[in-house]
Amino acid sequence: MQSIAILYQANLPPTNDGIQKPMKPGGYSDSGADIACELIKHNISIVTPSENPDINNDFDWVFPDTKNGIQDALDKGANTFWLNTILYQNHVIESFFGLDIQFVGQIPRQVDAYDDKYFTNELLRKNKIPIPKTKLISIDNMADYELDIPFPLVVKPIRGRGSQGVSLVKNQKELDTKLNEIFSDKIYGNMIYVEQFLSGQEITITVMPSGTYLIKNQKRTFKKPWSLPAVKRFNHINGIAPYNGIVAVIKNSSVLNHSELNSETIIKVCDHCEKAGELLNIKAPIRIDCRAEENGNYFLFDLNMKPNMTGPSRPHRQNQDSLTLLASREIGWDYIDLLNNMLMQAWRPINPSN
């Protein structure tokens, strides 16, 4: 029987080649607590740091992803760890891989590699998956780089988090100002990239890993990654979808209608997203943001190895459907169904280095 502990991010991840991935305030303790509360409401065994957790206190429900936090959860009887945190190679969780426990989430070393958005985009491009034109700019070459992408451009952190730190620049002056701002603040490290701006509709596609799922009371086995229905994004701010910590996704997102979901262009981009999931050997859901150019052809422009998993499990969080949950509802899953199906994909390391 699974006894689940949910981890949250306690500290900033280490820099990687001088690039820092920012940390969400609270380290995803909010979504971790949403998950825990939903599971316990449906009589699924979880362990918590507090004996009597307060429904309003996120940290009563989740353990820090530190050696002491993980050991505390083990001492309380956990045998399944939900990795609702930022992972990277040599994360402390890897030191527990030799134990008889399961994990829900991605393989840390793979997250470390694919959190580099430029590296991941180039990998997808080499595998014939459509990616916008991009250009790396470092603090060392910002005075003499050559730009072969027309304005407007999107400026992005290499190891970003959702739309945080993403901005649209319309000319060289705005780009220079933004570069100076980014590199002087040193929030995202010493390198960023710029990307071709796509003017068409934006959609988000959640890709689920291969495995057996329960959909409308029927078991279905997928031998390859598969996608949930696409969600369209609207009400952008200066061309960019706002960070969901500022605007709840239910305010600016909805599932495409039946006709759109069955259109050739959406089926094609879903196929590309599923191929990306297969290339990356995903073990849990990923979220891929895609956008169309002026002719309606979609490009994958942002792959997130840890999609948000917030949900309306607590009275004060009723507007907290994530993009993945919005898509899940279209196939008949509510929050607990999504979480249960994720639990069904729990994995054990083949060996401690995996």
Element (H, E) at 268: helix 264-279
Q: What digits encode the pLDDT tens for the residues 131-190?
A: 999 999 988 887 778 888 999 999 998 887 666 778 899 999 999 999 988 888 777 778
What does residue 288 show for φ and ψ, rounded to 5 degrees?
A: -120, 125
351 vs 308, higher pLDDT: 308
Q: What digits encode the pLDDT tens for the residues 231-286?
A: 999 877 777 766 555 567 878 899 999 999 999 999 999 999 999 999 999 999 99
What are the chain's domains? 4-106 (no CATH), 132-196 (3.30.1490.20), 202-343 (3.30.470.20)
pTM: 0.93
242 vs 98, higher pLDDT: 98
Q: What digits encode the pLDDT tens for the residues 22-34?
A: 888 999 999 999 9
Residue reference for tokens 């999504």: 338
Mean per-residue pLDDT, 57-64: 98
Burial of 153 (0-12, 13-18, 19+ CB in 10 A): buried
Element (H, E) at 125: helix 117-126
Name the token pair of 328.
């899940």
Indicate if the pLDDT at residue 59 is higher than 70: yes
Indicate if the pLDDT at residue 354 is higher than 60: no
Letter string b/e over residues 185-222, b meaning 16 or more CB atoms within 10 A of that residue's CB: eeebbbbbbbbbbbeebbbbbbbbbbbebeeeeeeeee
Indicate if the pLDDT at residue 230 is higher than 90: yes
State the chain's maximal CA–CA distance in angstroms.
60
Strand partners, 104: 82
CA nearest 108: which of 305, 346, 343?
305
In sequence order, what are the residues at sequence separation of 6 or more whose Cβ sits closer than 8 angstroms to the Cβ of residue 185?
none
* Cβ atoms of 75 and 53 closer than 8 Å: no
Q: How many residues does the chain have?
A: 354
Mean per-residue pLDDT, 74-85: 98
